[in-house]
Amino acid sequence: MTVDVHQHLWTPALIDALRRRTAPPRLDGWTLHLYGEPAYEVDPGDHDLTGRLALNEGLDLALVSLSSPLGIESLPPEDAWPIIDAYHEDALALPAPFGAWAATCLVDIDPARLAKALDQGFAGLQLPATAVRTGEDLARVAPLLDVLAERDLPLFVHPGPAAEPGGPGWWPAVVPYVQQMHASWYAFSTFGRPRHPGLRVCFALLAGLAPLHSERLINRSGEGRGLVDPDMFLETSSYGPRAIDAIVRELGIDVVVNGSDEPYARAPDPALGDAARHAVAVTNPSRLLNRKESRK
């Protein structure tokens, strides 16, 4: 079963909800306005279902998620829940090969509501990295992670809103997003794993390359190299063979999974041979998602 764990597809209900808003996050036609980022002209074709189905022709499963940099999860409950509910309804109605990550409101932690959503068929829960960057953050969302653990479903950590305004257009993706992922990787390893020993977690964009700082961690009296957590996965979006090779050298191939961040990027080829390509796109995502590997 060839899998892409990281795509975004704005469905009609989500687009309508963003256009009805008068403050960020909002859409003015196809112009996206966010706090901390320049206005962005969305290409309608990027979220065209027919076009995306053609791009996904070689996939058995493509998991879409709410775009966490929009900041919807951090809106007041009366604003967040209607948008999240609309996203959930449309995401569950998408045709094969689509599946979806659930979303939740972070101002109104509601484990029962999450449980009900997961039981409708979501692959797991996505949280913005901004919600899991510290021990205090992880303690706050622990009831949500308990729901995942009870159902043996994974957590997907995705960059959240970029708080720093200004800079060129590429700045949020290259600086704040990477910093968020770096912090969330170390926060979960340090504070989250003792509380949730069996939870499988996948970090977008190779966790901002956080594992490559293990030598610095050792020099600051942290845990040594070679201690690989087999349930902390990294997906490959926005990187390429050099970064993937470096992560594999540090952690091994078994925790690397295929992710594209469509429509903003394409899934990279690990360029490590057929066995590695199969591990990243088939075997490892199947273990992350607790699904049997398909033998086609």
Per residue in 188-229, pLDDT tens? Answer: 999 999 999 999 999 999 999 999 998 888 888 776 566 899
For residue 125, the Cα-to-chain-centroid distance in whole angstroms is 9
State which amino acid sits at residue 98.
F
Every domain of the chain and the residues it spans: 3-287
Lowest mean pLDDT among 60-74, 153-167, 254-268: 153-167
Q: Which of 186, 222, 213 is nearest to 201 (CA)?
A: 186
- Is 80 exceeded by the pLDDT of residue 25? yes
pLDDT of 166: 67
Report the CATH architecture of 3-287: Alpha-Beta Barrel (3.20)
- Is 50 exceeded by the pLDDT of residue 68? yes
pLDDT of 169: 79
| Helix (H) or strand (E) run with residue 15 in it | helix 12-19
Whether the model clears a pTM of 0.85, i.e. scores above it, the answer is: yes
pLDDT of 34: 87
